[in-house]
Homo-oligomer: A and B are copies of this chain.
Amino acid sequence: MIPSRWLPLIGWLHGYRRDILARDLLAAVIVTLMLVPQALAYALLAGLPPEVGLYASMLPLVLYAVFGTSATLAVGPVAVASLMTASALSGIAAPGSAEYVGAALVLAALSGLVLVAMGLLRLGFLANFLSHPVISGFVTASGILIAASQLRHILGVEASGHNLVEMLSALIASLGEVNVITLAIGGGVWGYLLLCRRHLKGGLHRLGLSARASDLVAKAAPVSAVIVTTLLAWALRLGERGVALVGEVPSGLPSLALPSLEPGLWSSLAPSAVLISLVGFVESVSVAQTLAAKRRQRIDPNRELIALGLANLGAGGSGGSPVSGGFSRSVVNFEAGAATPLAGAFTAVGIALATLTLTTPLAFLPKATLAATIIVAVVTLIDLGAIKRTWAYSRADGVAMLATLALTLVHGVESGILAGVSLSLGLHLYRTSRPHSAVVGRVPGSEHFRNVRRHEVETDERLVILRVDESLYFANARYLEDTVMALAARQPGLAHIVLACQAVNVIDASALESLEAINNRLKDAGVSLHLAEVKGPVMDRLEHTDFYRELTGRIFLSTYDAWRALHGDDAGVVPAPDEPSGASLKQGVSP
């Protein structure tokens, strides 16, 4: 049990048959065809030499295959993590320098450590800090930033900037220096990829290919663009005519080496590593869960953390940049029939073969081709409709999403995501700081109680029953104090307040303190405090507290019991119940 718990591969290797091998091999071939240009492109996006993208697509995939719980998640360099890498490294060194590359390895290793630590400490819940609107706004903004950053490669100009405004104004300023051949290649590839995306699948299907096969061929379209433009650049010597090419890529496999251990570098990259880890984890788990559900499989988020962490440690130790699970590649992997994580390991072999054999031709690949590949890929990340939908559904979530989007665009990825997280937390606390509560009265002749503002109910000027509709904790404890004391101040004849707690699942120490304060203050004001319908687990805790010992009133099993005991009561003290079942200090276990 223990080995297969930590090494899922033991489970699926047992019973690995030839037909599964065939499926995994087919998926690996298709994903490799997709991954080669993507690995080069995302290295370009991160400001890194092309081989770093290839190196990040070997050892990390093998490690994920051994430790991962998803059969189909395709790990490797992805767009958003590459953008975040570029942003994290921009303050450290000049893009492309040896120092910059070294820092990228450190970033990968650090992300790996963060992920592994989170997995071992079972801190996966921390990813919950990234609420959906924040992630969505962030990914949309990243897509826009990435697309904007690649336009210069399409135009063949030097124009960069740290935010959208800088990028666009630099582009406009450099419009006079556009390289027409580069633009023709970039624009041509862009148009070709769009055409493939829209029509190739349907066309192939009409020609008799199966729907699935047509789809997979259409997804591999970038490979044909890479081959054609590389041949063009080689045959026409486009490099001599001002077209930026990928240039020499070192042949051979990466060597294993520890990344730099300089403490200053590690501590300055640590915050970025945490953000890259969290974003990568959230995206990977979301893809993996979606795909696993289609086959009624499960993935284990805490073990995914460890597997993704080891993959990143592997990247840092073998010359690669940070990796995570890519959405489009994972879907292709799934649809191509990948049955086990071994498909990922086979993909790593495919990338290794490419690195050993294709580096000479790849030197002629125009950067504009890669840029067009990136743009067509990231445009699918941009979901402006989500803003409208979210805003319509909830103003607070809409504000969080817009703030994340806007700050990411104008102030960079890290400010954007941190502002979004702070705003989500603040808005959540604001929302829960005013828990819904209602003064209730008795539906005449029944044992039911309803909001006095919405229903014709029986009330009693000496008795207020307040139904609390949420758990009581530090964010709303003080509001409860305010609410109760306002009731007491408003109703001079008041003698009893009953808190009906059927919706209270937790009372934390702050809320307990507030209840004590309420009890003492009401006591000073000559009002008794009672509780009703306290749930079993909540009661178990309350029983051993000073609050319970000093409570001026009683704890009733039901609101009706409280009403019966206190209604029409003229004395300040509570009389003994007239029926034994009328009130109880100890309740049974909640349903």
Enumerate chain A interface residues (CB-CB to B < 8 A).
Answer: 125-133, 285-286, 289-290, 292-294, 296-298, 301, 389-390, 392-394, 396-398, 401, 424-426, 428-431, 433-434, 436, 450-451, 454-455, 469-471, 473-479, 481-482, 485-486, 488-489, 492, 503, 505-506, 508-510, 512-514, 517, 520-522, 524-525, 541, 544-546, 589, 591
Contact = CB atoms under 8 A, between A and B. Distances in A.
18 contacts: A126-B426, A128-B474, A131-B509, A131-B510, A132-B477, A132-B509, A293-B485, A293-B521, A296-B488, A393-B509, A393-B545, A394-B508, A394-B509, A397-B508, A428-B473, A436-B505, A455-B591, A503-B505
Given A125-B479, A289-B481, A451-B591, 10 more contacts: A132-B513, A286-B517, A293-B485, A294-B524, A298-B489, A392-B544, A393-B541, A394-B508, A397-B508, A431-B506
A450 B289 contact: no
A292 B486 CA distance: 11
Contacts of A394: 508-509, 541
B424 A474 contact: yes
A280 to B, nearest CB: 15
A503 B506 contact: no
Contact of A591 (B126, B128, B450): B450
A136 to B, nearest CB: 8
Contact of A289 (B126, B390, B479, B485): B485
A294 B429 CA distance: 30
A-B pairs, top 4 by smallest CB distance, nearest first, are: A293-B521, A131-B474, A397-B509, A132-B510
Given A429-B129, A482-B301, A505 B469 contact: yes
A492 B392 CA distance: 38
Copies in the complex: 2
A546 B396 CA distance: 19
A396 B506 CA distance: 12
A289 B503 CA distance: 26
A465 to B, nearest CB: 13
Nearest to A506: B431
A133 B431 contact: no
A486 B290 contact: no
A293 B429 CA distance: 26
Contacts of A525: 293-294, 296
A481 to B, nearest CB: 7
A148 B505 CA distance: 42
B508 A127 contact: no
A395 to B, nearest CB: 10
Contacts of A589: 454
Contacts of A489: 296-298
A430 B508 CA distance: 13
A576 to B, nearest CB: 28
A23 B485 CA distance: 26
A495 to B, nearest CB: 13
Most chain B C-beta atoms within 10 Å of own C-beta, residue among A506, A520, A546: A506
Contacts of A126: 426, 429
B521 A289 contact: yes
B429 A125 contact: yes
B478 A127 contact: yes
A150 to B, nearest CB: 29
A431 B133 CA distance: 22
A509 B478 contact: no
A298 B509 contact: no
Contacts of A285: 478
Given A509-B397, A521-B290, A591-B451, A478 B436 contact: no
Contacts of A520: 290, 293
A133 B289 contact: no
Nearest to A428: B473
Nearest to A425: B425
A450 B470 CA distance: 21
Given A485-B298, A505-B470, A509-B397, A125 B433 contact: yes
Contacts of A424: 474
Contacts of A470: 471, 505
Given A393-B544, A544-B392, A545-B393, A474 B428 contact: yes
A301 to B, nearest CB: 7
Q: Which of A398, A433, A473, A509 has the most CB of B within 10 A?
A: A509
A538 to B, nearest CB: 11
Given A450-B591, A512-B393, A544-B392, A298 B132 contact: no
A509 B133 contact: yes
A451 B590 CA distance: 10
Nearest to A467: B591
A133 B292 CA distance: 42
A346 to B, nearest CB: 25
A286 B293 CA distance: 51
A452 to B, nearest CB: 12
Contacts of A425: 425
